[in-house]
Amino acid sequence: MKIYLDGKFVDSAEAKVSVFDHGLLYGDGIFEGIRLYKGNVFRLDAHLERLEYSAKAILLKMPWSRQEIANATCEACRQNGLQDGYIRLVVTRGVGDLGLSPWLCPTPSIFIIADKINLYPAEYYTKGMEIVTVPTRRVNSAAFSPAIKSLNYLNNILAKIEARQFGAPEAIMLNDQGYVGECTGDNIFMVHKGKILTPCAQQGALKGITRDTIFDIAQEIGVPIEEHDLTRYDLWNADECFLTGTAAEAVPVVKLDGRQIGAGTPGPIFARVLEAFRRRVLTEGTRI
């Protein structure tokens, strides 16, 4: 496998960063997870815009243009002979000393891994997933904005560990006020009386690229959609529930915290959303 690292393609065995890189020492960096579908990079520009916003939020000045990063992303797919896959684009603060100070890290690093993707099992999409709410809360959005896609995922990882301890593949994280934020690596949606609802970013949700796509799809299929504060009670009494993410795409949830959601099978609005999503991924990409 060839990895793009700071302007060059190198073998994966040679793709190394320093132990003094603050991405490693402090999780000081940002990333994007991007999908390649039949030779098209899905919503590449939106991913690179989010990367730029994350960089600005942490005062990391990226010395590369959006076009340069886009070219490197497409080239990483070509170099590895991929037509379908998952791309991990990482920008670290770069090499510094053992103190926190980002000003002692003059040169950020960028690397891009384009690889095959491990999808959720197919039966999750046909039968639905069973998930739980975990005790670990989402970090307060005033302390650390959930919109920043940073290299520090320990909050989500702790929740993921708890999900697994409860035998669930994914988990709902509440914010410090007890409202639904998102899942450990996915956004969450519910359907109630014909309307799609999802928490807003301030409640602890990443502004997911797939989430944005669901807003466009809802318009296309004529289903009202809005951001709404949600509690566990709302989800338990939803007609339908589904999660979205670059890796997961859109996956239905049929049981939450031991309660059956709706009819206990993937719902009709979810089916329309998934169908529209699978069409869009083939038409909304940047050709590599």
Strand 195-198, strand 225-227: pairing: parallel
For the record, the structure tokens of 68 come out as 């340069």
Q: Is 206 in the site for ligand PMP (CB under 6 A)?
A: yes
CB of residue 47 to ligand PMP, shortest distance in Å = 7
For the record, the structure tokens of 195 come out as 């309307």
CB-neighbour burial class of residue 267 (10 A; exposed 0-12, middle 13-18, buried 19+): buried
For the record, the structure tokens of 41 come out as 């990079």
CB of residue 209 to ligand PMP, shortest distance in Å = 4
* CA–centroid distance for 99 within its chain: 30
- Chain positions 148 to 187 lying near ligand PMP, rule: CB under 6 A, are 156, 182, 185-187
Q: Annotated catalytic, 160?
A: no
The single residue among 210, 230, 254, 281 that binds ligand PMP, judged by CB under 6 A, is: 210
Site string (59-98) toward ligand PMP, x via CB under 6 A: ----------------------------------------
Q: Which residue's CB is nearer to ligand PMP, number 6 or number 216?
A: 216
Choose one: 1-9, 58-66, 203-211, 258-266; the region binding ligand PMP (CB under 6 A): 203-211
Q: Is 246 in the site for ligand PMP (CB under 6 A)?
A: yes
Output DSSP code: residue 21. B
Q: What's the rounded Cα separation, in Å, for the pair 262 and 118?
A: 29
For the record, the structure tokens of 38 come out as 């039949």
CA-based end-to-end distance of the chain:
17
Applying CB under 6 A, the residues found at the interface with ligand PMP are 33, 156, 182, 185-187, 206, 208-211, 244-246
**Active-site amino acid positions:** 149
